[in-house]
A and B are shown apart, each in its own frame.
Chain A
Amino acid sequence: MSMPELSSAGMSETLIEEGAAPASKKIEGRSPWRLAYERLRHDRAAKIALATILVIVLLALLAPVFAKILGHGPNQQFIDIGENANGGPVPPSGTFWLGTDNNGRDLFIRILYGARISLIVGVLATGISVVLGVVLGLAAGYIGGLVDTVIARLIDVMLSIPFLILAISIAYISGPSLFLVIIIVGVLSFTYLARIVRGQVISIKSREFIEAARALGARPWRIMFVDLLPNVMAQVIVYATLLIPAAIVFEASLSFLGVGVPPPTADWGAMISDASGFFQYGYWWFLFFPSVALLTTTLAFNIFGDSVRDALDPRGAGIYV
């Protein structure tokens, strides 16, 4: 991919270094992406956050393995040993590592399966938002005119209707499902990204290299996706990393309100919602562990996203999202 702006900046840096460096040492140009990666590699918070994310992904992948080892299915009810004399949840023990829920199901296994839902929704919904945001942002910024006006009004409408009212209305009428939740979260979250991309495109579309591309006969779609897109990629990556935790919270909120992923699928938001009627009677683990799982995940993604922003934009200007 051609990145005229960025690579020319890299080159001038190399020239400066050449004057100061000892002649024996080989000088190599480092791309801005490489510099960002180096900064990220030396960021301790980023490393811890990334390790946490990897552990969560691994646990989600291994959920069936744990289910097999412990012999507890995610939706399997243990009415005899998983419930106390009053039919309430039993506390953590050797059999049920994190205790059980109000239906006598293994909380540990359900939290692992819940991680799958959160991660799937987080990643896929963010994917939808990024595609929509980038395409609409590029079109609005580069083509301008009527296209810009229509997209701007569309975004205004989406921002003016409270997104939870919209999401709950849609989820309510078409019946909740995982697929629908991904679409709702993805489609309702692209607005800010589209605005960021549009703003960036407008600020760089009058630069010489775009003019040069047009003079060479490049078609609009080529200019948008080959010449402009790489130059807004840094912002897109930063925003996408921060969209993942937002999407996870959005999904959990929908499930908490009962219009997310339908039961009996294990889902953190739904588990916390179930627990909200039980924790007051001393069943603290039922509320505590799903909440900790959810918070750990969003915190890890937010810390990592923050570090990515700092790495791509060390001055802290430009990409404040």
Chain B
Amino acid sequence: MTRFLVRRIGQSILVLFISSVVVFGIYFVGPGPNQVARQFAGRLGTAARIAQIKHELHLDQPIYLQYSHWAWNLLHGNFGYDYYKGQPVGSVIAAAAPPTISLVIGAAIIWIIYGVFTGVISAVRSRSLMDRSFTASALFFYSMPTFVLGLALIWIFAYKLSPVTTFFPFHGFVPITTNPGQWFEYLILPWLTLALVTAATYTRLTRASMLEVLGEDYVRTARSKGMTERRVITRHALRAALTPVVTLAGLDIGTALGGVIIVETLFGIPGLGWTVIQAIQQQDLPIILGITILAATFVVVANLVVDLLYAVLDPRVRLY
């Protein structure tokens, strides 16, 4: 167990190191440094002025020096400062994190509950009309690009229903600490968009996993003991069937940081996805790096947690 943890943490650090090198490399291959300097110098900036700005931002140093400088600061808990306003990247991330966390947690609750519920019904009433319609709608939403679903929801709820209700604002974000009611209103459509697109996989996975478990001997034993069907399903079958669903949920929440880019852009939510898009357009490397490393860390940690959880949930799994 200790060996497993040491090895996995070592691998994770290696993966994060390579990821940051990749992002660094991509940036310096492109027009990034020049673009930033030219932006500062303005339209009339001379070559000397551009060179001076690059010097001030340390963009004229050899890449390996810039990298080791950044990595050294990161190891001391400092993400660096953004090029344009000189804000600490840590506080930029801290400001952008709450909207993203609100979005992902809320959507995850909806997609897990909806996905598991429809999956269980589909498996228990296999081949019924309900199963067919749940399976068909799962395929439908699975095929739906996020931005198409988001725009469709905006069209229906924010515009077509606007004479009836103004309950669905569709652009912006209100922190829960400012006004919980408005926070909820502003997030309904983004939550639904993210949840419906993601829930499809859960419906299908829960259905398949549940069908498999319902054919197991211990389910038959439970039934033959005279247990009610409801109890057989909730107490015996569902618990075993949920293992792969838990795995998927862990991985999905870990990768959600990258997945929210389109939803945040569409609904004007100033979260991490929106921030990173802005940073890429301005070629603001410290912010791109900070958010990428944060996202990569989430993925790596989620993977590790899922592996550990697997060992806890399923005694047959040995970690070595």
Task: Give the interface of A toward B (CB within 8 A).
Answer: 153, 156-157, 159-166, 168-170, 172-174, 245, 249, 252-253, 256-257, 269, 272-273, 275-276, 279-280, 284, 287, 291, 294-295, 298-299, 301-303, 306, 316-317, 320
Contacts and interface: CB of A to CB of B under 8 A. Distances in A.
A164 B258 contact: yes
Closest 6 CB pairs of A and B: A162-B258, A173-B30, A160-B296, A299-B143, A298-B143, A160-B299
A297 to B, nearest CB: 9
A301 B143 CA distance: 9
Interface in B262-320: 262, 265-266, 276-277, 280-281, 283, 288, 291-292, 295-296, 299-300
B143 A257 contact: no
B159 A162 contact: no
Given A160-B16, A253-B262, A256-B262, A173 B11 contact: no
A301 B208 CA distance: 21
Given A161-B19, A169-B30, A253-B262, 12 more contacts: A156-B300, A162-B292, A163-B258, A169-B23, A173-B30, A249-B145, A269-B147, A280-B159, A287-B151, A295-B144, A316-B211, A320-B205
A174 B26 CA distance: 10
Given A161-B292, A173-B31, A174-B30, A156 B139 contact: no
Contacts, number: 129
Interface of B: 11, 14-16, 18-19, 22-23, 26-27, 29-32, 139-140, 142-148, 151-152, 155, 159, 205, 208, 211-212, 255, 257-259, 261-262, 265-266, 276-277, 280-281, 283, 288, 291-292, 295-296, 299-300
A257 B19 contact: no
B64 to A, nearest CB: 19
A160 B139 contact: no
Given A253-B147, A294-B145, A169 B300 contact: no
A302 B142 contact: yes
Contact of B296 (A161, A174, A256, A316): A161
Nearest to A279: B155
A156 B258 contact: no
A287 B160 CA distance: 14
Contacts of A169: 23, 26-27, 30, 280, 288
Contact of B277 (A168, A253, A298, A301): A168
**Chain B CB within 10 Å, residue with most, of A160, A252, A302:** A160
B142 A162 contact: no
A234 B275 CA distance: 42
A258 to B, nearest CB: 9
A218 B147 CA distance: 51
A295 B299 CA distance: 29
Nearest to A154: B18
B15 A160 contact: yes
11 contacts: A157-B22, A160-B15, A160-B16, A160-B19, A160-B300, A161-B23, A161-B295, A169-B27, A280-B155, A294-B148, A316-B211
Given A163-B258, A168-B277, A272 B299 contact: no
A275 to B, nearest CB: 8
B199 to A, nearest CB: 15
B241 to A, nearest CB: 14
Contacts of A301: 143
B143 A153 contact: no
